[in-house]
Amino acid sequence: MSMMKGFSNVFRIPELRKKIFITLGLVAVCRLVSHIPTPGVDWTALQEAIKPLEGTSRGVLDWFNTFTGGALGQCTIGTLSIWPYISASIVVQLLSSMIPSLQKLKKEGENGRQQLAQITRYLTIVLCVVQGWGIAKVLCNPAMLGLNSADIVVNPGFGFQLMTVICMTAASLFIMWVADQITSFGVGNGASLIIMINITSRLPEALWSAYQRYFVLRSASMTGLILLTLFFVVVVMGTVMLTQGVRKVAIHSTRRSVGGGNTYGMKQTYMPLKVNYTGVMPIIFAQPLLQVLAVALRYVFKEGPVFEFAENLSRTTSMMHIALYSLLIVFFTFFWVATQFNAIDISENLKKDGSYLPGVRPGRATAEFLDDMMTKITIIGAFGLLVIAIVPMLLMGKLAIPDALASFFGGTSLLIIVGVALDTLRILESHLLVRKYDGFLSHGRLRGRSGL
Q: What is the pLDDT of residues 209-249, one digit of tens each?
A: 888 888 888 877 888 889 888 988 999 999 999 988 899 99
CA distance 353 to 341: 19
How large is the C-alpha radius of gyration of the chain? 24
Q: Rounded mean pLDDT of the chain?
A: 82
CA distance 50 to 126: 28
* Architecture of the CATH domain 1-190: Orthogonal Bundle (1.10)
Residues 198 and 172: beta-carbon distance below 8 Å: no
Q: How many residues does the chain have?
A: 452
pTM, full prediction = 0.82
Report the half-sphere exposure of 413 (CA within 13 A, side-chain side): 29
pLDDT surpasses 60 at 58: no
Residues 81 and 198: beta-carbon distance below 8 Å: yes
User: Measured at the alpha carbon of residue 169, what is the angle toward residues 115 and 102, in degrees to the nearest 5?
Assistant: 20
Backbone angles phi, psi at 153, to 5 degrees: -95, 130
- Give the Å distances, CA to CA, from 413 to 66, 201, 377, 408, 430: 8, 11, 23, 6, 26
- Give the Å distances, CA to CA, from 170 to 80, 125, 149, 161: 10, 9, 28, 14
- pLDDT single digits (tens) 117-176: 899 999 999 999 998 998 888 888 776 666 655 678 888 888 999 999 999 999 999 999
CB atoms within 10 A of CB 448: 19
Report pLDDT for 168.
Answer: 93
CA distance 199 to 426: 21
Report pLDDT for 372.
Answer: 93
Give 179's pLDDT tier (boundaries 50, 70, 90). Answer: very high
**Domain boundaries of the chain, sorted by first residue:** 1-190
Backbone angles phi, psi at 186, to 5 degrees: -110, -150
pLDDT surpasses 90 at 355: no
